[in-house]
Amino acid sequence: MINTSGKTTRRAVLGAFAGIAMIPASPVYSGVFGYNKGAGNIRRVALRSGRTGESIDTIYWIEGKYIRPALEEINYFMRDWRENAVTTMDRRNIDLIAAAHNLLDTDEPFHMLSGYRTQRTNNLLRSRSRRVAKKSYHVKAMAADLRLGSRSVGQIAQAGLACRSGGVGKYYRSNFVHLDCGPIRTWVS
């Protein structure tokens, strides 16, 4: 659940979602090794945003089924905060974030620098930096830029690469890792 102060426990989230209809996992997602590696039977996303002051710590998938209200909260959290624009994030990217976080074996939430971006926001960022891709996966709701205080860029990137599920970009100077669910590739900037 998104909050601005307290921490939500796993038990509270499970209780809140007891009895709520769940979305069955699509066969496209359920058979993909990379998204399942390290994610477990319960998938959780723990993120915070310095831009909005919000945090989210929610279980969004239990035993093969996505929890629709949790996905909606994640979509809102990962919105383009500059334009307050919300879209449906690609579930594969949420799975990748959850699996990488689980492999890092920490309870510290990812600090999300960027999730979804509108084309206008992406163009603005491109005008300020040559490192912003013209056809960014952020615009397609398929990417997130993340960091952890307790883990290095290299460690986070290794966890992302171990998932074998998309692009992993290492940004050492800016101290973050880009994870997307596009083609498998890696780069350093």
Q: Could you tell me the pLDDT band of residue 23, with boundaries at 50, 70 and 90?
A: very low
How high is the pLDDT of residue 133?
81
Q: How many CB atoms lie within 10 A of CB 173?
A: 8
pLDDT at position 132: 82
Q: How confident is the model at residue 35, as a pLDDT?
A: 46
CA 118 to chain centre: 17
Contact 56, 73 (CB under 8 A): yes
Q: Where do we find the tokens 């690469």?
A: 161
Identify the pLDDT of residue 45: 96
Which residues, in sequence order, are bridge partners of residue 61?
43, 66
Domains located in the chain, CATH noted: 2-188 (3.30.1380.10)
What is the reported pLDDT for 126?
A: 81
Tokens of 68: 């629709």
Q: Enumerate residues 6+ apart whose C-beta is below 8 A from 35.
A: 29, 92, 95, 96, 99, 163, 165
61, 29 Cβ separation under 8 angstroms: no
Higher-confidence position of 140 and 20: 140
How much is the pLDDT for 5? Answer: 47
Q: CA end-to-end span of the chain, whole Å?
A: 33
pTM for the whole structure: 0.80
By the 10 Å C-beta count (0-12 exposed, 13-18 middle, 19+ buried), 80 is classed as: buried
Of 31 and 11, which is predicted with more confidence?
11
Say whether pLDDT at 68 is over 70.
yes
Closest to 91 in 3D by CA, of 35, 136, 10: 35
pLDDT band at 63 (very low <50, low <70, confident <90, very high): confident
Q: Rounded distance, CA 92 to CA 112, Å?
A: 17
**Residues with Cβ within 8 Å of residue 64, at least 6 apart in sequence:** 24, 25, 30
